[in-house]
Amino acid sequence: MRFFLAAWLCHLAAASLTITISPSSLLPHPHSLPATTHATLTTSDRVLTASLTRSSTLVFSDIPSSGPNSYLLDIRSGEWVFAPYRVDVAADGTVLGIWETFRGNPWDNRGAEKYVVDIAGKAQGDIVIEAKVVGRRGFYEERAKFSPMSLVKNPMILLAIVALGFTLGMPKLMENSAFPQLPFPTMAVDPEMRAEFEQHSRSSPITGATSNAMAGGGFDLAGWMAGTSSGPTADADAARGEATGRDTGAARRRG
Amino acid sequence: MRLQAALFVAACVSPAAAIYTDEVNHIDFHHALLGAPSPDSTFFLRPSTSSNASLLYTISEKSILGAVNPRDGSLVWRQDLSRSASELTGGAGILRGLDGNNAVVGAAGDYISSWSAQDGKLVWENKLADESIADLELLELEDASATSSVRDTLALVSNGGAGVVRRLDGDSGKTKWEYKDDSGDTPFQVSSSSTNVFYISLQSSILKGYKIKVTSLDSLTGRQTSHHTLSSDADVTGPESVLFVGANSASPLIVWTDKSLKSLKVNVIGSKQVNTVAIDNVSGQEIEQITVHAAHKLNALPHFLVLYRTSSGSWAEVYHVDLKAAKVSKAYQLPFVSGPSVVATSSIDANVYFTRITDSETVVVSSASHGVLGRWDLELKSSERASNAAAEVVAKGSAVAVRAAILRDSGDWQLIRNGQIEWNRPEALIDAVAAAWVDNDVQEDLVHELEVEGHETLHGAYIHRVKRHVRDLEHLPAWLTELPSRILGSILGDEVTNLDSFGVAKSVIVATQKGRVYALDTGKHGAVTWSIQAVETSSWDVKAIVIESGEATIYPSDGSSITLDVSTGAITSRSSPKDVKFQSIATIENKVLGIQEDGTPASSFDESTGYLVTTSADGRVLGWANSDNKIPVWEFVPPAGQTVLQATARPAHDPVASIGKVLGDRSVLYKYLNPNLVLVSAVDTKGHTAGFYLLDAVSGKVLHEAIQVGVDANQPISSTISENWFAYSFYGDATDESSAKGYQLVISELYESDIPNDRGPLDAAGNYSSIHGDSLPLPHVVSQSFVIPEPISHMAVTQTRQGITTQQLLCTLPFSNSIVGIPRPVLDPRRPVGRDATSSEAEEGLFRYAPFLDFDGKWYLTHARDVAGIKTVLSQPTLLESTSLIFAFGGDIFGTRATPSQAFDILGKSFSKLQLLLTVVALAVGVSFLAPMVRKKQVNMLWKA
């Protein structure tokens, strides 16, 4: 029994490799890692596995002593991606060194050193290294959410709103002020002056054309082709003439 | 940095076909299974002292330890102990937990481990060297030195027949003391009291039978304080004769019976006295089974129940134990009930309750008196016998409520709460060995009718058609009545269009190792439509399931067959086993052919115009012509040292949408499309090499071969072939310091020629032959190899109706318990190496090659699910070109719809019919409101002007 106990203790005394997962900016709560999280040490003909413990560590307690080996250390945990490590082990099972490694690169292309054995040959205790979280997998596609703001931000909708604003707002503006170009449209205006302005603007060629159009047709194509009506240019000419002559009414009705 | 770059590139090119969060549980389903729970190791337990609700813990016969939420039957966590245990000693594992302890301790084979009860994380683990675990208990009371709330574990270990009792520290699992029994007795059980640990072993007596030996150990030091033997040698013939050994001071009992089942022998552990209680067999029938039920909780009353089962029914007797006097007395009897029944024990404080569940009702009684505290009729009677139960009783004043988890013989694990079935877990599906899709043939009648019309005269066909349409009118009223609900459903429903008629709701027939057959409906989240026990066996080696015209025929390896109706599960015919052992079953033109172990077909297949490729047990690949089933046409023997692992052919449904690949400069690279391709993978275990050989199945000619070095044969090697490409994966060790180490995925594409617009030697030939002449040209093979982060245990390819949709390589990842669908454009072997893609290459969708291929999260078909133990993945086309159905089995059951090129022919969930309707209505309202206004304005304008 004593022999057995000794063997048992020896077994435990073999250096263990502990990988800790500490909080980082990517993974602030290592305790939230799923219970399926595990680490593997892989080399030819051997795979060692360690499960995640309550204290967010992964412990390889018995690395077998069967010839020198160079292991690939992977940590797999659902959506979290960890950096792979290279673990070199001597023939008696002691860990010689741990480095970061790069997948798809030559095996001797080692990255940052995590641990290397003490040359003085001190008794090897437990080796503790830290796991490095490098990313998080996004499993899901984001569905575009419907929001009224996105609708408003649409340029077509913006154009339509501006156009609507003009069509509705402009006549109101015109009604209230004689001189829309004046900075203070609400200032008191002499009614006589206003009447004059309105008359002037009504007979202007542009407003004339627009009101013609609004009155339902503008230019009478059939009449013009038959020669009974004057052309659009003639119409405008007439309007210009009327404007100078300050005679309104008759020409307008004709449209 | 490299990783990020790789991820970024991958994200740029992969067609975004990932699942949306709102589609989870809608297009996919998952049965997370444990296997049948073992009776002694299933219990309700509060996971921590602070939590109110309890979880249901179990270790299954598959040695999977898990916690299930009793509310809805969902899995909280699980750990597969069989992964860590190197040898499983037949029997199920052992699981122990105690209220007030934050951990559960489980053991299987040579592996003991303690897991946090709340979240399933490891507390400690112990691998025994050349020993196997015999019994496990949690030590009752902490001794004065213990400070933590974690209890120590008592482990009884069998070390080559000698018993070793160890006390393991609750926090670290380290051995505090151990006691080795060198007397050669059979180690049996351990039990504990507040001061002592009892080691119970079976001492074989001189004549026959066993004496029960109780060794008392000091619980602090492990020193033997006393021992005595109970004279049971006349009754006990082996470990199975002892009915019960209590775990702790709630039930410090050893119970056995005499051989004639006339009296019950009860010993209170620690005393030398054996109480004999006569069994009052009122039914007069022969007792078939006796089970003892006692409370596990420490402060519970020492009352226990003995259930006697006869062939037609059962009764139970409740006994009270006087611990001081070590006396046992009968308290009362639960009457004989015909039909099967199970009993579960539960306790609240010191009170012990027994729950008896028959096939029609649930009854709760207190251990103190025979008054029925609660009785509920089962609303759904089950025809399946319940084999064991675990129950939890809650007392509300004088009334009680009970929930009981029952394992039925069918393998269903049910929770019955007050007579109502709350959930049902089909645990037997964990043994699934074969599965096949059922093709819904609703259109078959119509096809038949149209055929009739096609063969008749014009006039006759017209009459026939009119008659058919008139006949169809009888469906009109039904169609009209369901129309409103259909419209409403399609507007308010979850799915924009009901796709069931497009073949996305298919049934799958699944056969399990234990002789059960299930029909699962993928349209209803994998719900079990029917299940039957087809064969009474524990190792049903099903080789193939063939589905034809509404019937499924199951072919196991013994040459027999069973035909079932796919819609009801009724067995229509059976054929008896023959004196053969088939290694596989081949189907040629709907004919079934058994392949024997040595690779020879069981019979010739003259009537079929096919050919056959088989693998033989001695590692050869054989090719067969239809006329001869004795001498193969060709034989492929891999190089010396290599043994054939697998031979894969192109899938039966493998449509090719385009015979060439259009390059960026509008020239065409023609695909090498040989329908007779076979990919053979062979491995040399000692030399660490693997060979992959592409054969022509008709002539046996090797078209291409690749040898990989540094291959570990113990790690999974998987391969697949489709259209004009094949892929394989293996673990490649670094052969020297400058080579890479890790899992590799190799993709190869076959072209007729390496020159665009060139069809190679065949050119314009209309026909070619594999055998005659020397005309079978070799393909031009382009390969690229990638380092992947983890092994692939199984490969499959998504199948769509026309093959237009991009394919995905479906890879099962056993280490991360998931299935990943790698888009083919990423796995294009023509990706430029060492330089960026030119503009014409970019037009083809090619981008720079990177040796490391990380699996993008969006490729994970299983997304965040933990889909464990998958052995096979099936893919099935639907009527929608974009969609392929995926069904995975072997451990868990998982099903989903894959849309490798996005769901381009389906309106997605983002399309809201309601929104569309509302927009139309809003526009109509706006127009009707504005129209009078505009008209009025125009009229006004005319008048004003």
Reported ipTM: the value is: 0.85
Q: How far apart are the first and last CA of chain B?
A: 75
Residue A215: closest C-alpha in chain B: B942
Give the phi and the psi of residue B919 in degrees, each rounded to 5.
Answer: -65, -45
Which residue of A8, A11, A36 is the best one to mutate when testing the B interface, meaning the one whose CB has the most B CBs within 10 A?
Answer: A36
| CB-based contact, B899 to chain A, within 8 Å | no
User: Is B916 exposed, middle or buried (CB count within 10 Å of its CB: 0-12, 13-18, 19+)?
Assistant: exposed
Would the CB atoms of A81 and B854 count as touching at under 8 Å? yes
Closest in B790, B863, B938 to A140, CB measured = B863
| DSSP conformation class of B21 | G
As a whole number of angstroms, the distance between CA B695 and CA B680 comes to 7
pLDDT digits (tens, 9 = 90+) for B406-458: 999 888 999 999 888 999 999 999 999 999 999 866 666 778 888 888 888 88
As a whole number of angstroms, the distance between CA B167 and CA B175 comes to 6
For domain A2-136, the CATH architecture is Sandwich (2.60)
pLDDT of B13: 43
From chain A, the residues in CB contact with B789 under 8 A are: 74, 76, 84, 103
Closest in B79, B125, B178 to A35, CB measured = B79
Would the CB atoms of B20 and A79 count as touching at under 8 Å? no
Locate B893 and state its tokens: 């059951």
Give the phi and the psi of residue B543 in degrees, each rounded to 5.
Answer: -100, -35
Indicate the angle between helix axes A191-202 and A205-214, nearest 10 degrees: 70
Q: Which of A9-23, A234-248, B407-421 has the lowest mean pLDDT?
A: A234-248
As a whole number of angstroms, the distance between CA B15 and CA B899 comes to 10
Cβ contacts of B177 within 8 Å, gap of 6 or more = B166, B167, B221, B222
Closest in B84, B121, B129 to A52, CB measured = B121
Q: Give the H or E element holding residue B454.
A: helix B444-455
Q: In degrees, to the nearest 5, what angle opens at C-alpha B569 toward C-alphas B566 and B573?
A: 90
From chain A, the residues in CB contact with B123 under 8 A are: 53-54
pLDDT of A255: 38
Q: How confident is the model at residue A188 (pLDDT cuts 50, 70, 90)?
A: low
As a whole number of angstroms, the distance between CA A38 and CA B183 comes to 42
Q: What is the DSSP string of B797-861?
A: E---SSS-SPPEEEEEETTTTEEEEEETTTT-TTPPSSSPPPHHHHHHT-----SB-PPPGGGBT
As a whole number of angstroms, the distance between CA A19 and CA A52 comes to 10
Nearest to B648, CA basis, from B625, B676, B628, B674: B676
Residue A207: closest C-alpha in chain B: B945
User: Are B343 and B293 spatial neighbours (Cβ–Cβ below 8 Å)?
Assistant: yes
As a whole number of angstroms, the distance between CA B210 and CA B191 comes to 19
From chain B, the residues in CB contact with A148 under 8 A are: none
As a whole number of angstroms, the distance between CA A131 and CA A135 comes to 12
The reported pTM is 0.85
Locate B633 and state its tokens: 């046409």
Closest in B174, B688, B858 to A44, CB measured = B688
Q: How many CB pairs under 8 A join A and B?
A: 156
CA distance B794 to chain A (A): 19
Residue A48: closest C-alpha in chain B: B84
Locate B480 and state its tokens: 């009209």
Which residue of A139, A142, A151, A201 is the best one to mutate when testing the B interface, meaning the one whose CB has the most B CBs within 10 A?
Answer: A139
| Sign, Cα dihedral of B523, B529, B535, B539 | positive
| DSSP conformation class of B185 | P
User: Are A41 and A60 spatial neighbours (Cβ–Cβ below 8 Å)?
Assistant: yes
CA distance A192 to chain B (A): 20
As a whole number of angstroms, the distance between CA B172 and CA B904 comes to 56
Residue A254: closest C-alpha in chain B: B945
Q: How confident is the model at residue A201 (pLDDT cuts 50, 70, 90)?
A: low
Q: Decide: helix, strand or coil at residue B38.
A: strand
As a whole number of angstroms, the distance between CA A195 and CA A180 comes to 15
As a whole number of angstroms, the distance between CA B351 and CA B649 comes to 65
pLDDT of B3: 42
Locate B213 and state its tokens: 């030996």
User: Are B734 and B756 spatial neighbours (Cβ–Cβ below 8 Å)?
Assistant: no
Closest in A38, A76, A143 to B22, CB measured = A143
Indicate the average pLDDT of chain A.
Answer: 74
Residues of B numbered 110-129 whose beta carbons fall under 8 angstroms of chain A's beta carbons: which are they?
115-116, 119-123, 125, 127, 129
As a whole number of angstroms, the distance between CA B374 and CA B376 comes to 7
Strand partners, A90: none
| DSSP conformation class of B778 | P
From chain A, the residues in CB contact with B116 under 8 A are: 54
pLDDT digits (tens, 9 = 90+) for B772-786: 666 678 899 999 999
Q: How big is chain A, counted in residues? A: 255
Q: How confident is the model at residue A10 (pLDDT cuts 50, 70, 90)?
A: very low
Closest in B21, B122, B910 to A51, CB measured = B122
As a whole number of angstroms, the distance between CA B177 and CA B221 comes to 6
Residues of B numbered 708-727 whose beta carbons fall under 8 angstroms of chain A's beta carbons: which are they?
710, 712, 714-715
From chain B, the residues in CB contact with A78 under 8 A are: 816, 864, 866
Which of residues A199 and A105 earns the better pLDDT score?
Answer: A105
Nearest to B349, CA basis, from B392, B401, B298, B278: B298
User: Are B615 and B647 spatial neighbours (Cβ–Cβ below 8 Å)?
Assistant: yes
Q: Decide: helix, strand or coil at residue A71.
A: strand
| DSSP conformation class of B780 | E
Closest in A102, A106, A141 to B739, CB measured = A106
Locate B324 and state its tokens: 């001081």
- The yes-or-no verdict on residue A13 having pLDDT over 90 is no
As a whole number of angstroms, the distance between CA A134 and CA B193 comes to 51
Q: How far apart are the first and last CA of chain A?
A: 121
User: Are B533 and B543 spatial neighbours (Cβ–Cβ below 8 Å)?
Assistant: no
Listed as ranges, residues in chain B with pLDDT below 70 are: 1-16, 87-92, 140-149, 440-444, 493-498, 762-766, 772-775
User: Are B93 and B81 spatial neighbours (Cβ–Cβ below 8 Å)?
Assistant: yes
Q: Where are the domains of chain A?
A: 2-136, 146-176, 186-254
User: Are B907 and B497 spatial neighbours (Cβ–Cβ below 8 Å)?
Assistant: yes
| DSSP conformation class of A83 | -
From chain B, the residues in CB contact with A11 under 8 A are: 129
